[in-house]
Chains A and B, each alone.
Chain A
């Protein structure tokens, strides 16, 4: 489904973020990408979202190189990928409800669909009673659950979670990981980047380890080894 083909990223100042990275992600897989800060995990994610271009190599999504896509097609690609970030990236002037509704509006859903789906997905992440709160009125864990609800509301093919637990306490971390697992069980591909050892060890799923821009390890039922 997703294929990184000999991807390298060298910045103009000569620093190398990624070097010759190749691996494949199958549909409905749960892949964790681990590594130290600065190892290149986020760069990899940004390339999949067509936010950054590789210096060489290709990033394929269903056999199309995402960096050959036009602006409009990139927008369509991003609507098929749900994203969750460490810093939540919610729209501060919109309520929890509106944040999720926005993603649906962007995808061209009708008002009826929005009115039906948003409360449902908020219930799913256990925030049915906070749908009219603004992000600043929510705790970190709640914000991240809103972000997850936004990521899945359009029934994406993939959910990418870039360090989703980086700002959360252990209890909220477990909540978020449990949600991601549930999403994966329902048939959505999940890509998780993290450097949280406990999370990886408890998951028991595939782990790709990146170190200094290179893939050093790819285990089917991996542990966090660095």
Chain B
């Protein structure tokens, strides 16, 4: 009997979906917009995060050593810093590397290159570039460097300067920005999703409002509330399923078109590649939110008309 009821519910839900053509179309269009908003948020978040990652990677602390500093001492210091839990990477740039970099950077600058040639020795000291795991951890690393008097084995100071103080302001701002951007992002996501669910709910409610006389008739021939509700919930699920399908299909050409543009603008993030490589996840998110919103909206909207 239960199976017969379920079967009848599904059948009559599908039939009423087809016979109420325009209403179904309107509900699907609204849901397509809702799901586009959700997928827009997914892409925006991914783009945002990858851009922040790129920016985060550009922040570092540099330790400049005096030219006379022995290489062994610098390597020893490097090892010491690498042992800090906050540090993700330490790069050693030798004196020769710094000189080569300078020459490449000033290849067109004759005066500078000539001045360099006049000098008897390589005037540059070696450098250590330190990257922390999180921007907020730079302060901790810097404090460590300040407390630790980085000396050579012979007890001579070999550090010329640590440029953290100069970067500090930028780093602080960036950590603040990232924190608040994250918070605003979550808030906006939540807000958009609530708004779009409300719109969808209202559309489905209108669609069901049209059927309110029908519901009254069903009640009069003795149909139970559950029996009346089933077909509407099935219709809602079909709305959600079809809308998700439409959005998934449309996203393909849209991201394909946007991909190269976003790649130029957002430091290497290509939305098309992102869509292709995360298709399974996006498919699941859109399908489940579509079906969930459709079913819940229908369920709640019918409830209002069941009191006869």
Among the 9-residue stretches B70-78, B170-178, B190-198, B214-222, the one with 4 or more Cβ atoms under 8 Å from chain A is B214-222
Distance of A103 Cα from B219 Cα, bound (Å): 10
A92 at the interface (CB under 8 A from B): yes
> Are A106 and B20 in touch, CB under 8 angstroms?
no
A144 at the interface (CB under 8 A from B): no
Interface size band for A: 20 to 34
Distance of A103 Cα from B221 Cα, bound (Å): 6
B8 at the interface (CB under 8 A from A): yes
> Are A93 and B19 in touch, CB under 8 angstroms?
yes
A90 contact set on B, CB distance < 8 A: 217
B217 contact set on A, CB distance < 8 A: 89-91
Given known contacts A71-B225, A106-B227, A78 and B220 CB-to-CB distance under 8 angstroms: yes
A92 contact set on B, CB distance < 8 A: 214
Distance of A108 Cα from B308 Cα, bound (Å): 21
Task: Report the interface size for chain B: residues with CB under 8 A from the other chain.
Answer: 21
> Are B222 and A93 in touch, CB under 8 angstroms?
no
B16 at the interface (CB under 8 A from A): yes
Distance of A42 Cα from B240 Cα, bound (Å): 42
Distance of A92 Cα from B218 Cα, bound (Å): 12
B223 at the interface (CB under 8 A from A): yes
> Are A49 and B220 in touch, CB under 8 angstroms?
yes
**Which residues of chain A in 79-122 are interfacial with respect to chain B, using CB atoms and an 8 Å cutoff?**
79, 83, 89-93, 102-103, 105-108, 110-111
| Closest CB in chain B relative to A110 CB, distance in Å | 7
A75 contact set on B, CB distance < 8 A: 222-224
B1 at the interface (CB under 8 A from A): yes
A71 contact set on B, CB distance < 8 A: 224-225
Instruction: Find the A residue at minimum CB distance from B18.
Output: A93
**Which residues of chain B in 80-107 are interfacial with respect to chain A, using CB atoms and an 8 Å cutoff?**
none
> Are B222 and A107 in touch, CB under 8 angstroms?
yes
User: Of A93, A107, A108, A110, which is within 8 A of B20 by CB?
Assistant: A93
A76 contact set on B, CB distance < 8 A: 222
Instruction: Find the A residue at minimum CB distance from B214.
Output: A91
> Are B222 and A79 in touch, CB under 8 angstroms?
yes
Distance of A37 Cα from B56 Cα, bound (Å): 80
> Are A93 and B225 in touch, CB under 8 angstroms?
no
User: Of B19, B214, B222, which is within 8 A of A106 by CB?
Assistant: B222
Distance of A107 Cα from B222 Cα, bound (Å): 7
> Are B16 and A106 in touch, CB under 8 angstroms?
no
> Are B225 and A83 in touch, CB under 8 angstroms?
no
Distance of A195 Cα from B231 Cα, bound (Å): 39
Given known contacts A106-B227, A108-B1, A93 and B221 CB-to-CB distance under 8 angstroms: no
| Closest CB in chain A relative to B7 CB, distance in Å | 9
User: Of B1, B4, B216, B221, which is within 8 A of A102 by CB?
Assistant: B221
Instruction: Find the B residue at minimum CB distance from A150.
Output: B221
**Which residues of chain A in 135-174 are interfacial with respect to chain B, using CB atoms and an 8 Å cutoff?**
150
> Are A91 and B222 in touch, CB under 8 angstroms?
no
> Are B221 and A106 in touch, CB under 8 angstroms?
yes
Given A102-B218, A106-B222, 17 new contacts (CB under 8 A):
A49-B220, A51-B220, A71-B224, A71-B225, A72-B224, A77-B222, A78-B220, A79-B222, A89-B217, A91-B218, A92-B214, A93-B15, A93-B20, A105-B8, A106-B221, A110-B4, A150-B221
